[in-house]
Structure 1
């Protein structure tokens, strides 16, 4: 080609490329608000492997740990071996944990010395398909009969709040508070003096149910007229604006209340554990586990020296203690979402609940395909300064507190995204969270405080007493670090089954770029979608809500509410609270559809919740809470229950009719003069 001539093919190629870039940019701008844009799941490592170590519960620390036949006996010994190599890493270092139970007596601690270096990772993972269990519990043995129905055993554990009998959580001794007749600023007036003779009175715990929290406050001392409660916890439980306790709904942790099967009581003075078994339980063979270690794993750096490039895969964390609610005067008083109120010298403040598995100032962290169960508080916590990290394919179930907790609640004035304390770029994906918050019922499935660019996507969350996902903190219009958070494609159901004023998805405060889309929420005892106070700068679209007490509660208040984009949501019913809904949004929603109806968005439902790769996490016949009755996720499996319910109702009607007929005939025999009138009435009743 001569100089100055235009290559037509090359020119078309350039034009096509420019057109493609322009169209792609437009598509991203248009569809990003609708949930198609979130943090990408990290690609499985293709790095070379520099070294492999093996650990087994039946191994020995005198072994070199370099092959499966000579494993270390402790995880801490493997840590030492890894630390000796990380300074000159030329590939990943993998520590394989063989199956079995790793009983620990103290917290497993990781710091920046455990980091991967030179762009490579340190990986702690299960070997093959085996299940390594990191267990903080101890077995209680040698049970003897204390009375005809109660058994007793000694334990050297100082204190605990749960026990597990044959794998099932037992109920701490519990009774009614029906003798409480009045409430004052110091405590409660009682109708009798029964509590004056109770043992270990400062261990007795009153449980209160207000609107969105369930405070637990311990007794201080009692007189013949009054029950005085521990301060300042009792004061805090009574001064929480719209949510404050009055009379207790029940009482726990008194030997004198030990009267029902499956109840237990621990006497801290004598170190004796008492248990009343079910009639078919044999205490000579029963396995009773008591949690001992409070934090099973702590991985923490600091703002200038973070832990980096570390992974935990295929591990199971089980049996953890939590004793903060037992501390005198602190107890358990939550503001919301298991965020606790307490006094620091001369001022009161709030703090996050502790966690059984805890990360702080960690970067490039991966937690994958792990299980968290029978834990005494929040299961997993990604706290201050955790960045560029992911939690994928995990099962979080049967725990006492919140499922997954992210960020802080005390960073209200922080606005710099580059500050090392910022919790940002977090992916929570394909996790199954169920039956959590058993003891601390104001907990959340996934809770995020002051966070930036987190993605909570494709999770299945069920059976919770309060909210499914909560994002944001502060109740404030001011701009903070909160920005570009994404909550999409989650399946949330069986929630709000104990407390009120929460929802499937709940948000707070100014969050520019917040995207709540393509979620499916049903069987909520309160709200489905709930942008609460000052929520603004957000998008709520293509969500599906049905079988829920109230589909949408827009309580964002003030003019900021109009800065939220609420469009194309499939809402089965019109919002119950007209003061928390803007009628101008009516035309932008799709109303009145439920499963089975023409036009019901099955395409959204089928793409919400855990993806196929991790569907094995959810049992086929999962029971979940319905706001009318328990329901099975498998409709066919639910047929026996529905038949039983129908037959029960029919049986009741038939019995009622037969009894009524007998009574009428008896009256006829006794009062011949009225027989004709009664027969006429009976004929009318039949008709």
Structure 2
């Protein structure tokens, strides 16, 4: 994982301009008395520095020590004179590493005004790091001397592994590993170790790859089968599983009291972890304390982790919570290395009911939870920040767990940020009013997001959308085991993004994904470049755009697919439009099935497991503005809702990709026409230095009347 990204290089190119902007915000260094009086009424600057004191005045010469003091100083300053309540204010943080032991919290009183924000920014291009953990000095790592521990370590590791006494630093809260995964609520992760800004791996077996579940003696509970009933689900989770292990290694471990397993226990798109209850070496079985969401199935992939006896590879580590000793197999020389342990469990910054607040050019890192959480906020901006090495998400705006997307506010933006190595996703954008279809217009624009689901492997997207009318544009998203963009709700726009090398560890999944809702209509997916998306193999495949399980009303226009397993997978939905797309050098082009008429018929029916009628009843789909906006939804219940009606597949160009696969009922009730299969490479994608780059669509436009040119130069990071 490179420490310098494409986004970093673009930012460096503009560093001179950024410094000039900072100087303009700060105002002139020397001004007359009249100028100072005007500035006191119109704007104010405060400074925070590593060598500052909160008893200082907060000037550049006498800075504060904490952003909390600057926040409180703004509150006091505003009360000093009329007009200050809406004056723009800037808090400049001087370069350095600021250890955070609590959330930096802003409330409604800390808001700015439209066009006159309260800004927290790095001063003049200096590097400002807000760190939710503690540095472990290299001198504190010592050889392992305890013979009992040495005997548990692999023979080849005993003289390499180093131990660190956390209690000697006063660290006594080590958190706990808890059950997480598909279908479970997001939780705070246990502490993690970072070495030179790289996440280390809890000692695991095997060190890479997976094992296969052997014969299943007891599959355990199936919580998913009683979804929606908390008491029954809890009862199912309490039923642990038992299965045979095919590799005898667990029989050699001394202590399995805190050993866990990570796996895809039933489906290749649903990950989760399970704590071991017992290992029976004689029977070669392992039993778990709780159930997986779908129970356990033979042949599925998993590995063991948090095993001291498997500390055998560079970059692996183990934390003994009973003794407070941390053990590390150093990935390189410890001398001069930066070693951090994440400790902060709360979000690093919380904006609660704030408006017009900006974070600019700051780094948030090394924390167990989210980077920034914005609730019920308006016109807040996170710009040109780095958010990395976090256990949760980078930025959470509102609640994306339900289609309504509550508490997202409006007009918030995450722009030009570098988001890297987060545990549970990148950016969450909620907001808008589904009853009135009022858009929130929250945006994620021009961000570089990668390696963003290290801990929660599935359904932890780079960008997640809910509510109404949010916008995702010009981001570069890459390197992840599962989905890139997940959306629910209505009328979102997903455009000009480059997405590659996602869905790397899973299948039956999509880079851009939505599923199981008739009412989630109006989203437009246009002018995106998706490439090198091939999945992990198996009977299912990775898709570029996946409208799963009867999802409806999405328009995909002008997207480019190159080396993608399946460009479009449409799972029996209605009113979807696939128009003017280019599919190149891929496996499948468009697959549009009629699952609602066969294997999924019971799920779609009234009272079915997917709850389609319940979700329909939850929105005013027969009233305005729904009635005018989505006319085919008004009478859906009386219009053979299980049929894939009114889908449109037209004006698409295909080259070295399988032909369209459209179910008979979709052809009968929809439009499939004016699609072009090319016999020669149209020159849309060329490979430069091993990387695909966009060319032009002149040859397609010449051969396909009605086709509209794609603005390729606008695609990607901006």
Which category describes the TM-score, using the shorter chain as reference length?
Answer: 0.5 to 0.7
After TM superposition, the structure 1 stretch with the greater mean CA deviation from structure 2, 586-595 or 105-114, is 586-595
Whether the 8 Å CA contact 2:423–2:452 is kept in 1: the answer is yes
In the aligned structure 2, how far is the partner of 1:497 from the partner of 1:491? 16
Q: Work out whether 1:221 is the aligned partner of 2:269.
A: no
- Cα RMSD, aligned residues only: 3.2
Q: Work out whether 1:267 is the aligned partner of 2:320.
A: yes
- The aligned counterpart of 2:462 is 446
- The aligned counterpart of 1:74 is 66
After TM superposition, the structure 1 stretch with the greater mean CA deviation from structure 2, 127-136 or 568-577, is 568-577
Unaligned runs of 5+ in 2: 1-21, 26-38, 145-157, 176-189, 221-240, 399-405, 535-541, 574-595, 597-641, 687-696, 702-708
- The aligned counterpart of 1:483 is 490
Query: TM-score, normalised to structure 1's length?
Result: 0.67
Q: Work out whether 1:578 is the aligned partner of 2:571.
A: no
CA distance change for structure 1 residues 538 and 175 in 2, over 3 Å: closer, same or farther? Answer: same
- The aligned counterpart of 1:252 is 305
After TM superposition, the structure 1 stretch with the greater mean CA deviation from structure 2, 391-400 or 440-449, is 440-449
Query: Superposed, which structure 2 residues align to 1:177-576 within 5 Å?
Result: 181-183=214-216, 184=218, 185=220, 186-190=241-245, 195=250, 198=253, 201-209=256-264, 210-224=267-281, 225=283, 226-231=285-290, 234-238=291-295, 247-278=300-331, 281-301=332-352, 306-322=353-369, 355-383=370-398, 384-386=406-408, 387-407=410-430, 415-417=434-436, 424-472=440-488, 482-508=489-515, 509=517, 510-525=519-534, 526-557=542-573, 558=596, 561-574=644-657
After TM superposition, the structure 1 stretch with the greater mean CA deviation from structure 2, 564-573 or 99-108, is 564-573
Whether the 8 Å CA contact 1:122–1:309 is kept in 2: the answer is yes
Using the TM superposition, give the Cα deviation of residue 521 of structure 1 relative to its aligned residue in structure 2, in angstroms.
0.9
Deviations 1:514-547 (A, max 9, x none): 1111111111112112222232222111111111
In the aligned structure 2, how far is the partner of 1:134 from the partner of 1:203? 31
Structure number, greater radius of gyration: 1
Whether the 8 Å CA contact 2:450–2:462 is kept in 1: the answer is no
Whether the 8 Å CA contact 1:402–1:437 is kept in 2: the answer is yes
In the aligned structure 1, how far is the partner of 2:259 from the partner of 2:439? 38
Query: TM-score, normalised to structure 2's length?
Result: 0.65
Deviations 1:176-230 (A, max 9, x none): 3759633222232346986477455342111112321321111233445443212
In the aligned structure 2, how far is the partner of 1:471 from the partner of 1:189? 39
Whether the 8 Å CA contact 2:213–2:302 is kept in 1: the answer is no
Using the TM superposition, give the Cα deviation of residue 568 of structure 1 relative to its aligned residue in structure 2, in angstroms.
3.8
Unaligned runs of 5+ in 1: 1-43, 323-354, 473-481, 612-687
Select which of 574, 579, 587 maps to 2:673: 587
Using the TM superposition, give the Cα deviation of residue 390 of structure 1 relative to its aligned residue in structure 2, in angstroms.
1.2
Select which of 117, 142, 145 maps to 1:144: 142
Using the TM superposition, give the Cα deviation of residue 381 of structure 1 relative to its aligned residue in structure 2, in angstroms.
0.8
In the aligned structure 1, how far is the partner of 2:328 from the partner of 2:45? 46
CA distance change for structure 1 residues 603 and 181 in 2, over 3 Å: closer, same or farther? Answer: closer
In the aligned structure 2, how far is the partner of 1:245 from the partner of 1:172? 25
In the aligned structure 2, how far is the partner of 1:245 from the partner of 1:290? 37
Q: Work out whether 1:153 is the aligned partner of 2:236.
A: no
Whether the 8 Å CA contact 1:433–1:445 is kept in 2: the answer is no
Whether the 8 Å CA contact 1:544–1:569 is kept in 2: the answer is no
- The aligned counterpart of 1:646 is none
CA distance change for structure 1 residues 591 and 103 in 2, over 3 Å: closer, same or farther? Answer: farther
Whether the 8 Å CA contact 2:312–2:329 is kept in 1: the answer is yes
- The aligned counterpart of 2:711 is 604
In the aligned structure 1, how far is the partner of 2:654 from the partner of 2:191? 41
Whether the 8 Å CA contact 1:541–1:567 is kept in 2: the answer is no
In the aligned structure 2, how far is the partner of 1:103 from the partner of 1:374? 14
Whether the 8 Å CA contact 1:542–1:568 is kept in 2: the answer is no
Q: Work out whether 1:175 is the aligned partner of 2:205.
A: yes
Whether the 8 Å CA contact 1:540–1:564 is kept in 2: the answer is no
